[in-house]
Amino acid sequence: MTDPVLALLAEPAPVSAPALLGATIAGKGVTLRITEVEAYFGPTDPGSHGHRGPTARNRHLFGPPGTLYAYRSYGIHTCVNVVSGAEGVSSGSLLRAAEVVDGVATARERRGPSVADVALARGPGNLGSAVGAVLGEDDGTGLLDGRGPYLLTLAPGLEARIASSGPARVIEELLSETRSGPGGVGTVPRISRGPRTGVGGVAGGAGYPWRFWLTGEPTVSPYRRHPGALD
């Protein structure tokens, strides 16, 4: 029987990304619950680091499903991605925001004493800092077998659902689920989706609604439209 997590991550990132919401990534003294992700798919996506093929910098984005791909943002922050899809094809989900569910004191040491709990891992650079990601050490390590510095675990009950119904059906169900609206009035989607943050050109427009987040979660980062994005 195929492992449910591997079955999920065999799907390209724009398909599998919503199922990473609610998952945890644990290591280096901190556990994060993922609340926001962005999908990138190199073959058709000019916003992806892998759109023009593999390089020394992005080679791990072409690795097997469940690989951690890390990159440096603005020369300062290390950002964390979960590789998915077929090996040899650039496909990954950027972890944009998370709730620190264990190791708050450790995350605060890394982020600063005045940072509020909800902001410790809000934004991809802050998330990487909170979990202690290091570009040279962590890029290319495995997230699933326990031998790397981090372990990725899907949200409770999701592995059983995937084993029973398959990833495609479960992802479709996740995107259609609702919850009570603000103040208990009406309903809202449990998972929201929209254009990716800060991506320019056509890849930053409505044709790539590959940012997914848990609706109403305070840890989710604010959306910032790139001035060069084309709708």
Q: Which of 6-15, 73-82, 146-155 has the lowest mean pLDDT?
A: 73-82
* Whole-angstrom distance, CA of residue 31 vs CA of residue 12: 25
Mean pLDDT for all residues in the chain: 95
Residues 6+ apart with CB under 8 A from 183: none
* 3-state secondary structure (DSSP) of residue 18: helix
Residue 197 domain-assigned (yes or no): no
CATH number at residue 160: 3.10.300.10
**Closest by alpha carbon to 155, among 31, 19, 14?**
19
Is 113 a member of any domain? Answer: yes
Pairing mode, strands 77-83 and 68-73: antiparallel
Count of domains forming the chain: 1
- Separation between Cα atoms, residue 201 and residue 103, nearest integer Å: 39
Whether residue 194 is contained in a domain is answered as no
Question: Locate tokens 């003294």: which residue?
Answer: 29
Is 109 domain-assigned?
A: yes
Q: From CA 134, how far away is CA 101, in angstroms rounded?
A: 21
Query: Quick one: CA torsion of 114, 116, 121, 126, rounded to 10 degrees?
Result: -30
Q: Is 128 part of any domain?
A: yes
pLDDT at 1 over 70: no
pLDDT tens, 143-170? 999 999 999 999 999 999 999 999 999 9
Domain for residue 227, yes or no? Answer: no
199 falls within a domain: no
* Tokens 């059906």 -> residue: 169
Of 22-31, 84-93, 145-154, 201-210, minimum mean pLDDT range:
201-210
Tokens 């620190």, located at residue = 100
- Is 182 part of any domain? no
Structural domain boundaries enclosing 151: 4-164
